[in-house]
Chains A and B, each alone.
Chain A
Amino acid sequence: GESVGLHLPTLSVQEGDNSIINCAYSNSASDYFIWYKQESGKGPQFIIDIRSNMDKRQGQRVTVLLNKTVKHLSLQIAATQPGDSAVYFCAERGGGSGAGSYQLTFGKGTKLSVIP
């Protein structure tokens, strides 16, 4: 889920298990959402995106679910591997044609730790 204060929420999973990382977004007008993965010492790396006219999108080992009713986004990682250990950020795009049309608003992130 989203972070509060200084501490990132941490999700610890056993290698091979599935992981679910959640994100609550704030803007009901947001029309585009992205999940990024950030490994220590690196920049955020694009994982998967979804538009607001969809409620599910699948990639390789990852699935993003969007529930617009409750403004909730989740990232599911199948068969989690040690290399999946990182901080995961959700980002939303405000939609429309004004300033929000290009700006991504990022969540504070969730730290995923994979136990070998």
Chain B
Amino acid sequence: DAGVIQSPRHEVTEMGQEVTLRCKPISGHNSLFWYRQTMMRGLELLIYFNNNVPIDDSGMPEDRFSAKMPNASFSTLKIQPSEPRDSAVYFCASRPSGAAETQYFGPGTRLLVL
């Protein structure tokens, strides 16, 4: 039973480049979350989708960040242009519908912007 799948696992890019992170949630889960994790700020929620619709993007740092969920099995988080302060580990998590609130996390994408 596959968990949340993220790609790439590691990304090194130069400042100003576009970065696209990908996530495949667990099949049947109808909620998807993007988080950013840094030592300074811990885990921060960036955006939340429910049934492919963005519900809350108040955690997205600025206009350079955008996220899409074109279907129930795929989501992207894009940073354009990237900056060194965007360096972090980005996690995607999904959650089943119904009463369950537990979020299941992917392995993360470690991003380094030089």
Contact = CB atoms under 8 A, between A and B. Distances in A.
B102 A49 contact: yes
Contacts of B105: 36, 43-45
A66 B91 CA distance: 27
A77 to B, nearest CB: 19
A93 B107 contact: no
Contacts of B31: 102
Contacts, number: 47
Nearest to B40: A6
Nearest to B41: A108
- Size bracket of the B interface: 20 to 34
B92 to A, nearest CB: 9
A34 B105 CA distance: 13
Interface string A19-51: 000000000000010101000011111100100
B104 A46 contact: yes
A6 B38 CA distance: 10
Interface of A: 3, 6, 32, 34, 36, 41-46, 49, 89, 93, 99, 102-104, 106-109
23 contacts: A34-B102, A42-B108, A43-B91, A43-B93, A43-B108, A44-B43, A44-B91, A45-B105, A46-B102, A49-B101, A93-B101, A99-B56, A102-B31, A102-B48, A102-B55, A102-B56, A102-B95, A103-B48, A104-B45, A104-B101, A106-B42, A106-B43, A107-B42
| 4 nearest A-B residue pairs (beta carbon) | A43-B105, A106-B43, A108-B42, A44-B105
